[in-house]
Amino acid sequence: MSTDEYTTVRLPKELMEEVDKILKRGVMGYKSRAEFIKEAMREKLKTLPREVLEQLPLEHFNICDEGVRVLDRSLANEHSRGRIIDVYFRPENAWCEYCELTDCRHVKFALSLPEVRKIIREKGWEIRKKIKET
Ligand SMILES: [Zn+2]
**Is 54 a domain residue?**
no
Same domain, 38 and 95: no
Residue pair 72/110 in contact (Cβ under 8 Å)? The answer is no
Same domain, 70 and 107: yes
Chain centroid to CA 131: 24
How many domains does the chain fold into?
2
Same domain, 68 and 42: no
What is the per-residue DSSP string for 1-22? Answer: --GGG-------HHHHHHHHHH
**Is 67 a domain residue?**
yes
- Tens of each residue's pLDDT in the chain, 134 residues: 555 678 888 999 999 999 999 999 998 899 999 999 989 988 887 787 777 777 777 888 788 889 999 998 888 776 777 889 999 998 888 999 999 999 898 999 999 898 998 888 888 877 777 665 54
d(CA 118, CA 49): 35
116: CA distance to ligand 1 center in Å?
Answer: 16
Q: Domain residues for 109?
A: 59-130
Same domain, 39 and 76: no
**Is 15 a domain residue?**
yes
- Give the predicted TM-score (pTM) of the model: 0.58
64: CA distance to ligand 1 center in Å?
Answer: 18
Burial of 67 (0-12, 13-18, 19+ CB in 10 A): buried
42: CA distance to ligand 1 center in Å?
Answer: 23
115: CA distance to ligand 1 center in Å?
Answer: 19
d(CA 92, CA 27): 57
